[in-house]
Amino acid sequence: MINIAFVSLHAEMVGGGEHSLLDLMTHLPKTYQATLITPAAGAFSQAATQRDVAVQYLPMPKLGIASFVALKTWLVFFKRLKPDLIHANNSRAAFYAGIVGKILAIPVLFHCRIAEQDPKLDWLLVRLVDAVVVNSHATAERFKAWQDLNLHVVYNGIDVSHKPEAVHIQRTFGQRAFGAKVVMLCVARVSRWKRHDIVLQTFEQLAAHIEGLHLVCVGGADPNELDWWQTLQEKTAQSDFTQQIHWLGLQTNVAPWYQQADILFLASKKEPFGRVIIEAMGHKLAVIAFNQGGPSEIMTDGVQGILLEEDDDVVVRLKPVFESSALRQQFGEAGYVRAKDFSLEQHVRKMDAVFKSLVGQ
Q: What is the pLDDT of residue 186?
A: 98
Q: What is the pLDDT of residue 173?
A: 40
Q: What is the pTM of this model?
A: 0.89
Spell out the domains of the chain, with CATH numbers in brackets. Answer: 2-157+343-358 (3.40.50.2000), 167-341 (3.40.50.2000)
For the segment 197-255, what is each residue's pLDDT rounded down to a tens digit? 999 999 999 999 999 999 999 999 998 899 999 999 999 999 999 999 999 999 988 99
DSSP lists the bridge partners of residue 33 as: 3
Q: What is the pLDDT of residue 168?
A: 47
Q: What is the pLDDT of residue 93?
A: 97
Alpha-carbon distance of 341 to 286, in angstroms, equals 17
Q: What is the pLDDT of residue 169?
A: 41
Q: What is the pLDDT of residue 170?
A: 47
Alpha-carbon distance of 250 to 190, in angstroms, equals 10
Residues of the chain with pLDDT under 50: 166-170, 172-174
**E strand intervals along the chain:** 2-7, 32-38, 54-57, 85-88, 108-112, 131-134, 151-153, 182-187, 213-218, 245-249, 263-266, 286-290, 305-308
Give long-range contacts, CB 8 A cutoff, 24+ apart: 294-300: 294/115, 294/135, 294/136, 294/138, 294/139, 295/266, 295/271, 296/138, 297/136, 297/137, 297/138, 297/155, 298/273, 298/274, 298/338, 298/342, 299/335, 299/338
Residues in the chain, total: 361
Q: What is the pLDDT of residue 155?
A: 96
